[in-house]
Amino acid sequence: MKGDSTPILEVRDVSLQFGGVAALMDVNFDVRRGELFSIIGPNGAGKTSMLNCISGRYSPTAGRVVFKGRDVTRLTPNQRAGLGLGRTFQNLALFAHMTVLDNIMVGRHHLLKNNFLSGSLYWFGGAQKEELAHRRHIEDIIDFLEISHIRKAVAGTLSYGLRKRVELARAIAVRPDLILLDEPMAGMNLEEKEDMARYIVDLNEEWGMTVVMIEHDMGVVMDISNRVMVLDFGRVIANGLPHEIMANEHVKTAYLGVEDEEQGVA
């Protein structure tokens, strides 16, 4: 199986409650370094809540999140980004009034090392060299995602598919070891989905990023994932290879809508 045996991410007994509502209950799983790991499940299963616990937007009610061997359960999203954790969102979170280039640059801000004093000596200190290095990395991302033609466009004026690509670019700019993708292909047409799937596979295989992805397109999930975990009502009901998940009767009933012949219901 792809990915070494060392887990880059460990989720241990994570539960999350909002008032009396349990969004996640005793969730346990590992993601191995180098994997493309997908999380699926019906609407309301707790998928985005799980990503929010991993990225730091939510603090779990119980349990631990371990990233690269370090307990990050109480760290902020910015602190986790500094450790190499990137994230895209189900709902676009771009700065609509800013250009594509500026949106991507925002993803690099935590990597800047020069402070106010050294930055003021731009031509004599390291700030100029640092900025050029950041620019080169961003140009690599722009070329990779084939968005050079919109680099100076205002993000809010772009089509939905292009904005999703720009958001991916900003997440890549964090230079993550692990990237969390929340429905990266939602709302896209077939051609856009094929392009996005190719970018995700290349990020994993050529850029060496471990990927955790939430996606509803089962064809894409089963085609590109190394392993798949299924959530239902906040609990893990299956975790395994794509063909094992497709053959799992519990998954078929809970998520894939297999008809129950005795009851006559889907």
Mean per-residue pLDDT, 181-204: 94
Q: Which residues of 231-249 are buried (b: 16+ CB within 10 A; e: fewer)?
A: bbebebbbbeebeebeebe
pTM for the structure as a whole: 0.85
Q: 200-219: per-residue pLDDT in tens?
A: 999 999 999 999 999 999 99
Q: Do 122 and 160 contact (CB within 8 A), yes or no?
A: no
Count other Cβ atoms within 10 Å, centred on residue 206.
9
Q: 161-174: per-residue pLDDT in tens?
A: 999 999 999 999 88
Q: 112-145: per-residue pLDDT in tens?
A: 454 444 455 444 555 566 667 677 889 999 999 9
CA distance 204 to 199: 9
Q: Do 147 and 166 contact (CB within 8 A), yes or no?
A: yes
CA distance 173 to 113: 15
Residue 227 confidence (pLDDT): 98
3-state secondary structure of 170: helix
Residue 137, both tokens: 């990395």
Q: Do 228 and 239 contact (CB within 8 A), yes or no?
A: yes
Residue 189, both tokens: 């047409």
CATH 3.40.50.300 domain span(s) along the chain: 1-84+176-266
Mean per-residue pLDDT, 175-204: 94
- Mean pLDDT (the chain, rounded): 86
Homologous superfamily (CATH) for 1-84+176-266: P-loop containing nucleotide triphosphate hydrolases (3.40.50.300)
Q: 40-97: per-residue pLDDT in tens?
A: 998 889 999 999 999 999 999 999 999 999 999 999 998 999 899 998 877 667 888 9
CA distance 11 to 65: 5
